Structure 1
Amino acid sequence: MLIAEELLLVGTAPDGRNLLGTQRQIVVAGALLTELVLRERLDVDDRSRLRMVAGGTIGEPLLDDALVRFGERQGKKPKDVLGSIGRKVEKPVFESLVRRELVRPEPVRALGMTWMTRWPVLEGGPRDTIVADLLRVVCRMEEPNSRTGALVSLLQAVDALPRVLPKEMRPGVPNRDVRRRGKEITKGRWASEAVVKAVQEATAATMAAVGAATAASSSS
């Protein structure tokens, strides 16, 4: 599975609840960018701007699509494009998990309208395996590799680690220690650290815009 697929799988509770929060689209785009950086197809230069390293087909439809989308925005800062790209790529990543028979779409309807879609987990084995890998890394039983390190870093970016690894799975390890470990793992991982910073900046910008719109609406 791609990092983005693993991220959405562990970021979705077995009953379909979203554990990644309101910035799920941004962090999914960040996961695709991380994979493209790790595969040396994209880079983030010393000015914190996107740079294409190598084009061509990768052979993974999700990554091929993401490479085109990020490539079209070459020269821009990742934080400025993650939101718009995330809105386009989140559903295809979920649909890939549906084809793998790992989740299913469950429209949430009210008043004759579909308000949102939940994605209940159909096959818990793969999700449980990834969560167990993350738990060993966070609880210092195992050193992270490039994939578990990237996943931890991306979950840390949206403060989702304590939700993905609930307290009953880690007795004696409080949330503050989980977050501290997440920061340790992120630091020094160039690809993850650069993308995590972009995810956090994009998230902050989105929340600021929402706050401003809410304030404007309240005062009118």
Structure 2
Amino acid sequence: MLIAEELLLVGTSPEGRNLLGSSRTLVLGGALLTELALRERLDVDGRKRLRVLDGGTIGEPLLDEALVRFAEREGKKPKDALDRVGKKLQQPLLDSLVRRELVRPEPVKALGLTLTTRWPVLMSGPRDAVVGDLATVVTGAREPDSRTGALISLLHAVDALPKVLTTEMRPGMTNGEVKRRGKEISKGRWAPEAVATAVAELNTAMMAAVMAGGAASSS
């Protein structure tokens, strides 16, 4: 699975609730950017602007689409592209999980109207395996690799790490300790500099989104 698919899977509770919050599209865009950077297709240059290193076909339709959409915004800061890319590809990512029979759509209705859609997990094994990998890193049993480091950093960016790693997955660790460990990992050396910069830009975008939301609610 792509990093974005794994993020979406673990960011959905077994009952189908969204654990990534209102910034889900933003962090999905961040996951796609991170994977493209890991594959050396995109870079974030010294001015913190998007730069395409290789625009050729990858062979993964979702990544190919993401690369095209990021390339359309080459020269911009990642924070100005993440949400748009995530919005365009959120449904295709969900559809991919449905085709793999990992989740299913469950409309939530009231008075005959569909209010929202939940995505209950159909097969717990794949999700449990990813969450288990994350738990071994967060609890210090092993060091992060590029995949687990990326997922933990992305979950930390949207404050979802303690929700995904339930208390039984990290005995003796408080939510605060999980958050501190997530912050430590997000600044670690598990990835090339371009990926670290992309993750830092995602955190900048997250803070901007939170501040904008707070300003809107107070107006």
Instruction: Tell me the TM-score normalized by structure 1.
Output: 0.93
Q: Structure 2: how far apart are the matches of 1:103 and 1:115?
A: 19
Give the residue type in structure 2 aligned to 1:207. V
Partner residue in 2 for 1:194: 197
Partner residue in 2 for 1:210: 213
| 1:167 corresponds to 2:170 | no
Give 1:103 deviation, angstroms: 0.4
Q: Which moved more, 1:54-63 or 1:163-172?
A: 163-172
Partner residue in 1 for 2:127: 127
Partner residue in 2 for 1:38: 38
Residues 12-161 of structure 1 aligned to structure 2 (within 5 Å)? 12-161=12-161
Give 1:192 deviation, angstroms: 4.2
Give 1:191 deviation, angstroms: 4.2
Give 1:202 deviation, angstroms: 2.1
Any stretches of 5+ residues in structure 1 without a counterpart?
none
Give the residue type in structure 2 aligned to 1:104. R
| 1:179 corresponds to 2:179 | yes
CA displacement 1:174-215 (0-9 Å, x = unmatched): 122211211221114434432232222222333333333333
* Kept in 1: contact 2:50–2:73 (CA 8 A): yes
Q: Structure 1: how far apart are the matches of 2:143 and 2:98?
A: 31
Give 1:118 deviation, angstroms: 1.0
Q: Structure 2: how far apart are the matches of 1:161 and 1:64?
A: 28
Q: Which moved more, 1:43-52 or 1:107-116?
A: 107-116
CA displacement 1:81-127 (0-9 Å, x = unmatched): 11111111111111100000000111112233222211100000000
- Secondary structure at the counterpart of residue 13 of structure 2: coil
Give 1:165 deviation, angstroms: 0.3
CA displacement 1:17-67 (0-9 Å, x = unmatched): 111111011001100000000000000001110000001110000000000
* Kept in 2: contact 1:16–1:119 (CA 8 A): yes
Identical pairs, percent: 65
CA displacement 1:144-186 (0-9 Å, x = unmatched): 1110111111111111110000112222111222112112211
Give the residue type in structure 1 aligned to 2:138. V
Number of paired residues? 216
Any stretches of 5+ residues in structure 2 without a counterpart?
none
* Kept in 2: contact 1:79–1:198 (CA 8 A): yes
Q: Which moved more, 1:192-201 or 1:171-180?
A: 192-201
